[in-house]
Chain A
Amino acid sequence: MTRTKADGNFASLIYRPLCVLLLLAGLFFMIWLRSSIVTLTYTLRTIEERATEARKDTKKLLAERAQLMSVSKVTSSLQTVAQNTTQNKALRTPDDRHYVTAGYVTPDRTKVVHVKKDKGPEPYRASLTTGDKN
């Protein structure tokens, strides 16, 4: 089979612009990709800044929580509540009032039942339920 001149012309007519087009498209794609990466780094930076701010706030909140949870703070708050609400209906029994006014209260050891096993590596446990008093 012999190739005609018309066939060759047709092929060059298609391929050459296609190559140029591909070259241009590739160039634009590269530029677009690069600009997208730059945009992404900008976005990332913005997110990083927001994360830093959030981290700062978290630290502040954690510090506040730690302050509020300290034994002395809890006790003084309870005592203030008790002073302000001597007629508080929520504090019905003398025990309730005692716990609130005393603030920090440790368990009454005559009511704590210690349960331990004679054998085996069982952990030492404490329970508030009283045992069989035979």
Chain B
Amino acid sequence: MGQGLQNDTGLNKKRSVILSTTIIFGFIAIFLRLTDLMIFNHKLFAEKAKMQQVKSEDIQVMRGNIFDRRGREFAINVELESLYCDAKEVSIDKERVNRLSSALNMEPRAIQAKFDQEKRFTWINRKLSQERVQKVRDALSADSRPGTPSVRGFGFISEPKRVYPRGELAAHIIGNVGLDNQPLEGIELAYDKYLRIAGGKVSFSRDASGKVLSSGVNMEAKGNNVLLTIDESLQYIAEKELEKAMARWRAVAATAIVMDPATGEILALANRPTYDLNEIGKAGKNDVRNRAITDIYEPGSTYKIIVGTAALEEKLFRLDSTFDCGRGSIEVGGKVIHDAHRHGLLTFKEVIQKSSNVGSIMIGMKLGKENVYKYSKLFGYGDRTGIDLPGEVSGWIRKPEKWSATSIGAIPIGQEVAVTPLQVLRAYAAIANGGYLVTPHVVQEIRTHDGLPVFSFTDKDKKRIISEQTATIFKDILKTVVEEGGTATGAAVDGNQVAGKTGTAQLIDRRTKRYSKDRFVSSFVGFVPADNPRLAMIVVVYEPRGAIYGGVVAGPIFKSIADQSLSYLNVPRDDSREKNILMVAK
């Protein structure tokens, strides 16, 4: 018994030694492995774990919105799904390719070509509508049951798409962006650095099954919002009237700009032909041209403002100075220039009122070419106006030393110079506001998406170019143009006096290189109410048919736009007191 007990104790001891040795070695092995994992190969395994557990995603970058002066949306964003494939994973039969092609409205061959590229990431079609996405999901689902997982190798990524809720309204101002939201035209291009914002990536933790855990990070970055000086209603009025004019005169093109003459704020800028910003693919080359700032033309009689104001400013003539225009023509450098009608003896005032070429040339000759050039430059001709839209051209006027013998007979009546409609409007705004040359602009303010101010327009370049007295006298002369006996009675507005000037210019015939006898540019530029101007406006109609004179073609368009705009802006009539509709409360 005692022997057996002793043997047992010995065996137990042996066992316990083996067990403890095994445990110790086991722990040593674990310790060594842990040392290997945590110290020697720490970097390698940490990287591996990170790759498995951390997922990186791009932050959705949204361009800032564009609003009109009353906060109405002109450019906003929506998120649409884009379909991509991993060509190495895709295994798809012909029938399903056909289903996919009908869902995407693409050629089956074009889809198959994407799979043949064998890239790990290929776009199939981008920015699909919700209905199309559903069709694609159905085409790719493993069976007909809704919500079933789709065929391997396909996926959707959400992308921001620019939407223009007003369609073709103010299309030439707003501009557009490309498929990757890169700016192409208009405000989108000019203010891209404010509208765009840097994106970045966000990392998420995910579990073994690939399920993503919350990161608590906002996955959207928004650019700054742009507030325009444009008013949707005024823009609509201008576009509607231009559309009517295009049909009425069967014109090639037309432009209208409405501006606040005191500040240079563009309230409306319309061109015809135009295009829908949401369907850029359908737009032709002519449709996207912003003729108000990119097209130059000879201004014709609207340019007589230069010699008129220069003569007053230089005190060369009085209002009652007379000019003998009885012959109805004048010869300058061997070239004979005619008036549209014979006028006889005209006063300085009547030369402008009746738009006499002969009288204007006489004034120009008295001024001399240096003065005509000086005042042309003072009114901003030959230079860009500085409007905050891309593509503006400067027009041109030759330096006096390069003038020909006939130039002094041509430039005072608006020939041999090239201007944009906006330059002409800006010059007339200077008469309206008492002699200041303003900077036309379409952006009033830029704010962050939280509403904090980033940029606000201030006109640093506003400068006086003529005296207030000259501006007032010339304003009175321009009023007579719209009155009985003037060239633009059709531009008169019921209730408010209009001051303005007509222009009828011949276009150059490309074949003969001479002035065309049947292709004209008709224009009217003016401001209203004449004594306290709220609106300055120019209407230019290119190649009208049936009539050519600015007073007949463009004048009535000016009237229609002004009538509705003054009413919309609640501008009191000049005769409010007489009609007892202006009440002054004490």
The distance in angstroms between the C-alpha atoms of A106 and B562, with both chains bound, is 12
Complex contact B570–A126 (CB within 8 A): yes
Contact, CB under 8 Å: B78 / A59? yes
**Bound Cα distance A106, B106 (Å):** 47
CB nearest neighbor in A for B212: A45
What size tier do the contact residues of chain B reach? 35 or more
**Nearest-CB residue, chain A, relative to B495:** A109
| Chain A residue with the shortest CB-CB distance to B568 | A106
| Assembled-state Cα–Cα distance A42/B571 (Å) | 60
| B495: chain A residues within 8 A (beta carbon) | 109-110
Cβ of B214: which chain A residues have Cβ within 8 Å of it?
41-42, 44-45, 48
B219-233: CB near A (< 8 Å → 1, else 0) gives 110000000000011
B79 touches A112 (CB 8 A): no
- A5 in the interface (beta carbon within 8 A): no
| Whole-angstrom CA separation of A45 from B77 in the bound complex | 24
Tell me the nearest residue of chain B to A106, going by C-beta: B567
Binary flags per residue of A34-77, CB closer than 8 Å to B gives 1, else 0 = 00001001101100100010011001101100110111100100
Interface window among A24-32, A82-90, A115-123: A115-123
* Chain A proximity mask over B229-249: 1 for CB below 8 Å, otherwise 0: 000110011001000000000
- Verify if B452 is at the interface (C-beta below 8 Å from A): no
Chain A residues bordering chain B, tally (CB within 8 A)? 40
Contact A115 B580 (CB under 8 A): no
Given the complex, which residues of B lie within 8 Å of A116, measured CB to CB? 582-585
Q: Is A98 an interface residue (CB 8 A)?
A: no
| Separation of A97 and B181 alpha carbons in the complex (Å) | 44
**CB < 8 Å: which of A45, A119, A130 contacts B581?**
A130
Question: B216 an interface residue at 8 Å Cβ cutoff?
Answer: yes
A109–B493 alpha-carbon span in the complex (Å): 12
Task: Digitize B561-581: 1 where CB-to-A-CB distance is under 8 Å, 0 elsewhere.
Answer: 000101110111100100111
Identify the closest chain B residue to A51 (Cβ).
B219
Asked if B586 is at the interface of the complex by the 8 Å CB criterion, the answer is yes
Contact call A114/B581, Cβ cutoff below 8 A: yes
For residue A17, CB closer than 8 A to chain B, the reply is no
Q: Known interface pairs A62-B76, A106-B564. Does A38 touch B166 (Cβ–Cβ under 8 Å)?
A: no
- Do A72 and B77 have beta carbons less than 8 Å apart? no
Is A133 on the interface with B (CB-CB < 8 A)?
A: yes
- The interface of chain B, by Cβ under 8 A from chain A, is 72-73, 76-79, 130, 158, 163, 165-167, 169, 205, 211-214, 216, 219-220, 232-233, 236-237, 240, 495, 564, 566-568, 570-573, 576, 579-586
Can you sample 22 A-B contacts with CB below 8 Å?
Answer: A42-B211, A44-B213, A52-B219, A56-B79, A60-B130, A66-B76, A66-B166, A67-B167, A70-B169, A71-B232, A72-B166, A72-B167, A104-B237, A106-B564, A109-B572, A110-B579, A112-B581, A114-B582, A115-B583, A116-B585, A117-B584, A117-B585
Please give 11 more A-B residue pairs, beta carbons under 8 A apart, in addition to A45-B212, A114-B582: A45-B211, A63-B163, A70-B165, A70-B169, A71-B233, A72-B166, A104-B240, A109-B573, A113-B582, A114-B576, A117-B586
A interface with B by C-beta (< 8 Å) = 38, 41-42, 44-45, 48, 52, 55-56, 59-60, 62-63, 66-67, 69-72, 75, 104, 106-119, 126, 130-133
